[in-house]
Amino acid sequence: MKTKVLIIILLTLFFITGCEDNISKTSKQSQPEWVGKILSQAINDNSLEGSWSYSSVVSYENADCIGEGETYDYSGIVTYGESDAVRTESFLLLFSDFQQKGYSEEKFHDMCIKKNGTINSNGNCEGTYDMPFEYYLTEDGYCETYIYAPDKSKTWCGTIELTENTATITYSYDSDYAGKSFCKIVEMAKQ
């Protein structure tokens, strides 16, 4: 299970940082027209304000969210303000995984410190990190914007089903390139 958590965290980090170059580099000035349209319709109210914990994350290898999805054992909390939010996630990096890649114990410890982690009693690196972002709600839509630098940001949009104590966000990306389409359904519970 620890390996699954590690894989999910690493995939999230790679997806957010590594795929940015492949999908698009946008800035607030050069966002696609559809993003601007959604953001201009934002009706942020206080319906998401507060802390929400992840209850389920399921990914599909198609944009239609059909077939057998892969369920991730993912833990984290999102704290929403009026229009800003912070995702707090835990991570566990196994020394054995890095040892297979040629890391010495000292190199692994140095890497752990750089990630603001601590070495636990098993010799693995654990910690938490915060990912701030802006969010926007429309009538049934939801967008998250991550700002990487003054001139670089990435916006992800999807649909949202919101009740008093639960939120289901569906992100769908349909690509012309084989194997690049995906769907991710994130379910959260209000704390």
Express each pLDDT in 145-177 by its tens digit: 999 888 899 988 999 999 989 999 999 988 888
Report the number of distinct structural domains present in the chain: 1
Q: In the block, which residue shows the tokens 């636990």?
A: 120
Largest CA distance in the chain: 52
Residue 19 has pLDDT above 90, yes or no: no
User: Residues 6 or more apart from 85 whose CB is under 8 A from it?
Assistant: 48, 78, 79, 132, 133, 134, 135, 144
pLDDT computed for residue 36 by the predictor:
64
Question: Cα separation of 122 and 141, whole Å?
Answer: 43
Question: Cα separation of 153 and 109, whole Å?
Answer: 31
Q: Is 98 left (phi over 0), alpha (psi -120 to 50) or beta?
A: alpha
Mean pLDDT value of segment 89-96: 92
Q: What is the CATH number of the domain that holds 129?
A: 2.40.128.280
**pLDDT-based confidence at 104, cuts 50/70/90?**
very high
Question: Cα separation of 186 and 184, whole Å?
Answer: 6
The neighbour count for residue 125, using CB atoms within 10 Å, is 22
Domain extent, residue 123, equals 2-190
